[in-house]
Amino acid sequence: MKRLDTARLLVGAAIALAAAAFAAPASAADTVTISGRAYAFNHMSTYLSGATIKVREIPGLSATTDANGDYALEVPDDANVTPYIDPPDGYNEIDLQTFHTRGEDIDNANFQTPGDAEYNGLAAILSVPIDAATGRPAYHPAVLLKLYIYGYLNRIQSSRRLERETQRNVELIWLTGKLMPDFKTIADFRKDNGCAIRQVCAGFVALCRTMGLLTQASVAIDGSKFKAVNNRDKNFTRAKMERRMAQIEESVARYLQQLDSADRQEPSDVLKTKTNRLKQKIEKLKEQMRRLQVLKVEMLATPDQQISLTDPDARSMATSGRGSGVVGYNVQVAVDTKHHLIITHEVTNVGTDRSQLSSVAKQAKATLEVENLDAVADRGYFSSEEILACENAGITVTLPKPMTSGIMAKGRFGKQDFRYSAEEDIYICPAGERLTYHYTNEEHGLVLRRYWTNVCQSCAIKQTCTSGKERRISRWEHEHVLEAVQRRLDERPEKMRQRRETVEHPFGTIKARMGATHFLMKTLPRVATEMALHVLAYNLTRVLNIIGVRPLMAAIRA
Ligand code: SF4
């Protein structure tokens, strides 16, 4: 990073000097004039008026051609200048040669720019791809991908800002080889190439594996909520909708009451203005209510009874802070515990992590191409079915069980105070009694075996055990899998600290890069593309920090 930072400082200084130079008006002796005429290609009697003549090296300079297609442009002396034409509609942008100015004006710097028909014909002969939107040669995807990776590394994720930076940021001018795509081209690349961008992200992880950076089959899994473009006020759940409607009704009632009391007062101009204002407010609120009623019908028709107006895929989600929440997406990651590289990630709009464990862990295992994988997660992922699915897939998970039962809060024994004996298939209670198997039933899709003893009524410590007739213990048919998870956690409690340190690194870095902002794109597939760019930028920085630039370049070329 030091090398990059130094480069950035130097580049910053260069930009400052250049800016100062361009800001100061040049004296007559410091400039020369480039002049000429703009024609239609092969039609020398067709002059192009209203075309803009610019200089690649100096974005601020421009001149417009007159009715005869003539222009004159003052440029710095002793400098490289490449004039180009930004022509009227129907013609195509072309560059003249690069001149080095040597104290003399340059005349007859004429442009002959082809019309669309000739241009496309020539392009077809030369097999040059044409951008369907602009009719100009398409940018190579590598240029636009480089631009985005640079942007995501440097907190410039917006296509408009990237367009500006390609014109003034020396690092980017070098990186793109002076190409300056417009913001729409930049935005469309991200919008239309989501699948390919996600493949590049996955390809980089595969490269990390071949470089030997992912030798440990051990990952930490975590999720974090990221804000969507959708504002909280533009998201409605059933509760929010009812709250908002109640607020409107309350406000209408208050204004009606004020109108009633105004009616009882002596008429005056001031009173008339006040009543008019109140009537307007009431009308506005009624309009809002009508809109909400329409939205309510739409909202109730959705599967999760929630509607987001700006980004339809964004969902209201609770975050760790008490009473706080975001309208956004839940990003799941599996992070390698040694180098903190993101092995796999997935953007979901499900607000909880409970159903995510096995899918993320299986993806990580497939990416690492290992037989067995160790995965550690927090208690938010605890789900019996998910843990069993991991076990069946050769993934050893370690995670704590959430204490959701209220029984311990009441000062009574928890299930962990009852010891299971596999040989006898019984539980031994804190009083030393044997709870035997009685029957099996199904609850929430889980097959549960029930155990109890008939001596509870005469037990001396019954009040600290149960308020019922007897204490019953349930055992899931695959309970041994959950017991193994608990055993692993008891043997290696430090794994939880390791998990926190591992996952905080990528999320902390990515969120710091995003700043206080949020995803810029809408809908799940596009947000997934944006996240892939964040992950790619993060992993790239990690690898550069771990092995340095040269070994990485060598591995990419290999
Ligand atoms: S109440 Fe029943 S299960 Fe609980 S400690 Fe007493 S005998 Fe054991």
Atom of ligand 1 nearest to the CA of 455: 7
pLDDT reported for residue 24 = 36
Q: Two tokens at 122?
A: 């020539």
* pLDDT, the chain, mean: 86
Atom of ligand 1 nearest to the CA of 431: 5
CA of 471 to the centre of ligand 1 (A): 6
Residue 281 CB–ligand 1 contact under 6 Å: no
Over residues 471-492, the mean pLDDT reads 94
Q: How confident is the model at residue 8 (pLDDT cuts 50, 70, 90)?
A: very low
Architecture of the domain whose range is 2-126: Sandwich (2.60)
Closest CA to 501 of 319, 335, 308: 335
DSSP state of 354: T
DSSP assignment string, 445-474: TEEEEEEE-S-GGG-TTGGGT-SSSS--EE
Q: How confident is the model at residue 7 (pLDDT cuts 50, 70, 90)?
A: very low
Per DSSP (E only), the strands in 228-269 are 235-237
Residue 431 CB–ligand 1 contact under 6 Å: yes
- Give Cβ neighbours of residue 344 (< 8 Å, ≥ 6 apart): 202, 205, 333, 334, 360, 363, 364, 367
Q: What is the pTM of this model?
A: 0.71
Using CA atoms, how far apart are residues 230 and 245, in angstroms rounded to an integer? 20
Q: How far is it between the farthest Cα atoms of the chain? A: 113
Over residues 213-228, the mean pLDDT reads 91
Q: Tell whether the model's pLDDT for residue 28 goes beyond 50.
A: no
Residue 472 CB–ligand 1 contact under 6 Å: no
- Give Cβ neighbours of residue 542 (< 8 Å, ≥ 6 apart): 339, 340, 341
- Give Cβ neighbours of residue 553 (< 8 Å, ≥ 6 apart): none
pLDDT reported for residue 114 = 78
Over residues 505-534, the mean pLDDT reads 87
Using CA atoms, how far apart are residues 335 and 343, in angstroms rounded to an integer? 6
Atom of ligand 1 nearest to the CA of 452: 3
Over residues 372-398, the mean pLDDT reads 94
Residue 430 CB–ligand 1 contact under 6 Å: yes
Q: Tell whether the model's pLDDT for residue 295 goes beyond 60.
A: yes
Q: Over the stretch 128-145, which tens digit does the pLDDT of each residue have?
A: 556 666 666 678 888 899
pLDDT reported for residue 1 = 38
Using CA atoms, how far apart are residues 159 and 189, in angstroms rounded to an integer? 10
Q: Over the stretch 308-329, which tens digit does the pLDDT of each residue have?
A: 999 999 999 887 766 678 899 9
Residue percentage of the chain with pLDDT more than 70: 90
Between the ranges 224-233, 320-329, 390-399, 502-511, where is the mean pLDDT highest? 390-399
For the chain, which residues make up each domain, given as ranges? 2-126, 232-308, 415-491
Over residues 78-107, the mean pLDDT reads 85
Residue percentage of the chain with pLDDT more than 90: 53
CA of 433 to the centre of ligand 1 (A): 7
pLDDT reported for residue 123 = 60
Within 88-154, where are the H helices? 116-126, 141-153
CA of 463 to the centre of ligand 1 (A): 9
Residue 462 CB–ligand 1 contact under 6 Å: yes
Within 68-226, where are the H helices? 116-126, 141-153, 159-168, 170-175, 183-192, 194-210
Contact 137, 130 (CB under 8 A): yes
Q: How confident is the model at residue 249 (pLDDT cuts 50, 70, 90)?
A: very high
Element (H, E) at 309: none
CA of 453 to the centre of ligand 1 (A): 8
Residue 456 CB–ligand 1 contact under 6 Å: yes
pLDDT reported for residue 321 = 65
pLDDT reported for residue 135 = 61
Residue 461 CB–ligand 1 contact under 6 Å: yes
CA of 490 to the centre of ligand 1 (A): 26
- Give Cβ neighbours of residue 248 (< 8 Å, ≥ 6 apart): 285, 288, 289, 292
Q: Over the stretch 147-160, which tens digit does the pLDDT of each residue have?
A: 999 999 888 999 99
pLDDT reported for residue 266 = 81
pLDDT reported for residue 137 = 63
Closest CA to 486 of 397, 556, 418, 361: 397
